[in-house]
Structure 1
Amino acid sequence: MGMQYTILMQDLASECEIAHLKITAVATRLESKRKDTCNQLAEFAETMNIPFSFKIVMIEDMLDFNVNLLELNDDEQVAVYSPFLLSSMIVTPNRLEHLMREIRKINPFITLVSEVEANHTSPEFVKRFIEALFFYGAFFDSMSDHLADDEFNRKVMESIFYGQTIRNIVAAEGKERTVRQVGIDVWRAFFARFGMLEVELSDACLNEAKLLINNYDCGNSCMVSVDNKCFIVGWKGIPIFSVSAWKFV
């Protein structure tokens, strides 16, 4: 939805003078949705007096992605943000490897990664069942705390988004099991293969995250903790997702 970029614009505007801010979205579907979001961001950037442009790179397959599609200038400083994308390609490792090689060619000054903090890849049914039980149990618990039983959005989330995902994790096997999520330690080993070093997220970032959470009723249930150099966001003690930052050597 682009909300994180409005916060980014506000922070950049308060910290420094921006010569130009360009956001490039790389996607395989929902082009119209990307355009709507980018148009909204352009309107917001105008209110902040930030020179802004956006580019949408639509590809049929992640194997079609290459750095030339980004049309980067030599004087650009590039940051890469990957929200819950890499885990979707675990089942197709050739796509994941290809994407990482192309990102390395960009040599961004920072790469930010948000990923699910769970182990849903075990070949053993019982282990996958237990992991899914605790992980998605936390999601259902959070919704029961804040949404009525007959809330339409809650029904959609539980029956379609969570329900189908749980069914795939627990019941599907082989190539049919497309949902394969791993924790931050696995990603650390994977990123190390591409010469990436983890960058420590600052105490200021941690304090800001906690202040944001405390603005909501869920403040006592939602947690943010530090794992080595990254943050883990969880619900009542159950890890949900990680946020980490990386640089290429």
Structure 2
Amino acid sequence: MLLAIDAGNTNIVFALIDGDEIVERWRIATDPKRTADEYAVWLNQLLILGGRDRSVVEAVIIATVVPRALHNLEVLASKYFGVDALIAGRDELPWGIGLLVDEPKTVGADRVINAIAAHASHAGDLIVIDFGTATTFDHVDAQGNYAGGIIAPGINLSLDALVAAAAKLPRIAIRAPDTNKVIGINTEDQMLIGVYWGYIAMIEGLVARMKKEIGRPVQVIGTGGLATLFEQHSPVFDAIESDLTIRGLIIMYQRRTG
């Protein structure tokens, strides 16, 4: 089986792949100081709980936007699974698509991999919105090239900044409001309305501007842990694909191994 690792700024997702099927997925908070031994103990316990042991892992592929976490993940692959990890975007595993931007090396691995996966499943021009620590809006052209995009603060980051800067505001959990009303009558409701509906307005506004600039029919694909939070109150999405990054890693691995 393939172990696909998507290391983001907030969480690292580990997915166990059998052929094209994601059979297990696990999530752990990103900590660049976490050692390969710590990863191994945690993963081994999860594998055992699923009725497997680590010998089922025959290959490892990693995508990361956290360079400091990469070394320990590579050690995890070599020390505990006996394989050299494939690193998305390196010479042995090139992207295979065009990066039509001024500085291709600065594009996050997750954004390129999302482009690969989205183009494999959808025809024509695409906008991929990934809701993570940051929210990214990426244009994938009809040929599958990464054609640029937008980086905005993630909704939890926006909420944290609001609470940190205003001493009397309480900390609240982000969720969809109970009603469509946008005039709140208490502080918590007003905060939730401002952050949630303000974020919906940003999403819809930026997508409208991107579509106008692209000038051709465009499908909008949402991904990331919070994508479903916005799907229920906005018609902007054509599809929600929570496993888009992992799907992209599977495609890259399959291209490499034939």
Q: What's the TM-score, normalizing by structure 1?
A: 0.30
Q: What's the TM-score, normalizing by structure 2?
A: 0.30
